[in-house]
Amino acid sequence: MMRGVSATRRIVLGSARAAAVSVLAVVLSGGVLVSGAGAAPVTSRAAVTAASSVPHALAPGSSGYLTSRLDGLSCLSATNCVAVGGGGSPPTSTQTLAEAWNGTAWGVVPSPSPSTYLNDLLSVSCTGPTRCVAAGSATVGIDPQTLIESWDGSAWTVVPTPDVSGKVNILNGVSCTSPTSCVAVGAAWVEDIFDFQTLVEQWNGATWSIVPTTGAAGVGYLSDVTCVSSSDCVAVGWDNSGRTLVLSWDGHSWSVTPSPSVAGSNNVLSGVTCLSATACVAVGDSVVYATGIGSTLVEAWNGSTWSIEPTAGATGPSDGLNHVSCSSTTACMATGFHFAPGVSEPQETLVESWNGSAWSVVPSPSPSATRNNLQNVSCSSPTACLAVGWYDIPVGDPDTPRTLVESWNGSTWTIVPSPNLDALVEPVVSMASTPTGDGYWLADSAGDVAPHGGARSYGSMSGKRLNAPVEHLVATPDGGGYWLVAADGGIFSFGDARFYGSMGGKPLNAPVVSMTPTPSGKGYWLVAADGGVFAFGDAVFAGSMGGRALNKPVVGIAADRSTGGYWLVAADGGIFAFAAPFLGSTGDLVLNRPVTAMAPTADGAGYWLAATDGGVFAFGDATFHGSMGGTTLAAPVVGMAADATTGGYWLVAADGGVFSFAAPFFGAG
């Protein structure tokens, strides 16, 4: 179901909402991108024989690209916002998507997807940092049914909601005035018979219940709702005859408030906002029946009547507005889309602003050459707005939608990096844990990143072409971001990870195989297979094995948090210590399989080594908690991460299988 488009474009069967989105908002720090090589297709393999591992695999020939889009947005301030949407790999499965903004970076926050088929969050309303409500739909059987999820400051949970029996049920908008007062609106209808019945549900702090809408108020489709108090709400949409529909709540019942429509056109109101009981703005579009050409539609409420206001529109044949946000009666922003001639999908983003006397078009970026759409907007002041939506990258058929976030600073709209839902494609190459041990990230050679547990996604290289494969993933000390390093020494920074330099584009004697951050997170070391070390930021060069004869190539590097030095580990388990204590190695042992990774203990007084067969070797104060040595694996172990909270560790295999030892299992792949 797509809001804010003409009737001929509005209904999408088999989906709760039209999907189309995309990528580009990722900040690329270092590393050179080229066209050509991409992720290798997944090949079939046997199941991993470990109870703690649930290996992940995409279908043969698939890629790490998943659809991702943002539909709803709620900002408490310029540095505290929540956005919701959905994505995945339709039509077989999609999942909810929730992201949070802290003023610096967007991160994916895990949210439940109760259906195994289609899950969608279309709107969100926050009354405080620990109280948000999101509304949408989840498919039960073949029909979407209402979905409400609640945020308590630490987790999203599904809240039971009623449905109209025997019908498709969907919630498009939600507005909360307190933790005990929320209203959600949408529609119910019989599949393939589009005589819409308005649907309104209310939260009293304990349960959601359907509020009756009868007569003219019960016929139509509701797109959005806004409440200035528990007894004053306005919902907008359209009726079954193609006219605008406005419903008002007085604390006791819903009733129709007369609203104008453009004659000879199909009229839709998609978004609404109210500053007070006497100041509301609703936006949408009006499509001429005879020509199919759409124009932006804006209506204003002065406390007694709704009236159509002139809008600027874009320089083309068809435009529409999805949502509107006002920080004052003289400062509003409306976001939507522009259609090119003869094209049935939104081609460019559209933003219009209100200065108290007139609406005008404000230039906004459209990163995709095919489809771009801004679904929602939230303004905390005339000079601070965020807008969310989607745009396409040219992958798949149709193209793959990815999240789009744009920011207004009072003069220009710019793209803000935002993460997406990504799948991993074999081979998985690395993992990193959060500093609290409540989750971890996995990365594949194409730069796709998958978060698990409390780990948040801050972006990835999905959709980008690399000069060299990604070799390693490391998290920042506070867990608010991470770096990827490629074999050519290119560095890619996400979240609060900062770019301090790279070896991308520089000649190397051997490929880069690993990296480790300094304790402050304001620098990092890279290590190449020949033992060469490269220091950036506040990382101090303390020596290397570059230019020396090695029995086996170096495969990893780890920082000593106590001394500020580092260790190198070779494939034979040999350890080379630089400004860090030597605590032992397997360099003089005959190993069944080569060492592939190392992880230090939290205090820097020990470390573990992991071999490709899952064997684990502990030194110093590192405690041995078990290994996969001697167990048949479907794929070699390629990475290791320590749990600073429990003193345990995880191993990850090339097929995405994760093995937990004295550490919680948060999923694989």
**pLDDT tens profile 338-361:** 876 666 666 899 999 999 999 999
Nearest to 363 by CA among 293, 418, 294, 415: 415
Quick one: tokens of 74?
A: 């709620």
Whether residue 507 is predicted with pLDDT greater than 80 in this model: the reply is yes
Task: Please report, as a single letter, which amino acid is at residue 499.
Answer: F
Q: How confident is the model at residue 379 (pLDDT cuts 50, 70, 90)?
A: very high
- Higher per-residue pLDDT: 247 or 42: 247
- pLDDT, position 396: 58
- pLDDT, position 341: 62
Kindly report which listed range (83-92, 122-131, 201-210, 511-520) carries the lowest average pLDDT score.
Answer: 83-92
What does residue 7 show for φ and ψ, rounded to 5 degrees?
Answer: -60, -35
- pLDDT, position 420: 87
Q: Return the SS3 of 10.
A: helix
DSSP H/E element including 7: helix 7-10
Looking at the chain, the whole-number percentage of residues with pLDDT higher than 70 is 87
Per-residue pLDDT of 126-181, as tens digits, reads 999 999 999 999 998 888 999 999 999 989 999 999 999 999 999 999 999 999 99
Mean pLDDT for 274-298 is 92
Which pTM value belongs to this model?
0.79
Q: How confident is the model at residue 64 (pLDDT cuts 50, 70, 90)?
A: low
Greatest alpha-carbon span in the chain: 87
Q: Work out the mean pLDDT of the chain and round it to a whole number.
A: 86
| CATH assignment of 428-661, among 2.130.10.10, 3.60.60.10, 3.40.47.10, 1.10.3720.10 | 2.130.10.10
Looking at the chain, the whole-number percentage of residues with pLDDT higher than 90 is 74
Total residues found in the chain within this entry: 669
Whether residue 6 is predicted with pLDDT greater than 60 in this model: the reply is no
Residue 129 to residue 161: CA distance in whole angstroms: 23
Mean pLDDT for 44-59 is 25
- pLDDT, position 316: 56
Residue 423 to residue 581: CA distance in whole angstroms: 39
Mean pLDDT for 514-521 is 96
Is CATH 2.120.10.70 the classification given to domain 7-26+48-416? yes
Whether residue 580 is predicted with pLDDT greater than 50 in this model: the reply is yes
DSSP 528: E
- pLDDT, position 589: 87
Distances from the Cα of 325 to the Cα of 70, 73, 382, 384, 472, angstroms:
16, 10, 10, 11, 42
- Which residue's structure tokens are 């749990």? 643
Whether residue 109 is predicted with pLDDT greater than 50 in this model: the reply is yes
DSSP 504: T
Residue 529 to residue 512: CA distance in whole angstroms: 6
Distances from the Cα of 363 to the Cα of 20, 25, 138, 266, 356, angstroms:
21, 17, 36, 27, 19
Whether residue 194 is predicted with pLDDT greater than 60 in this model: the reply is yes
Q: Where are the domains of the chain?
A: 7-26+48-416, 428-661
Mean pLDDT for 66-75 is 94
- pLDDT, position 285: 93
For the chain, the distance separating the N- and C-terminal CA atoms, rounded to the nearest angstrom, is 31
CA atoms within 13 A on the CB side of 212: 4
Residue 113 to residue 97: CA distance in whole angstroms: 9
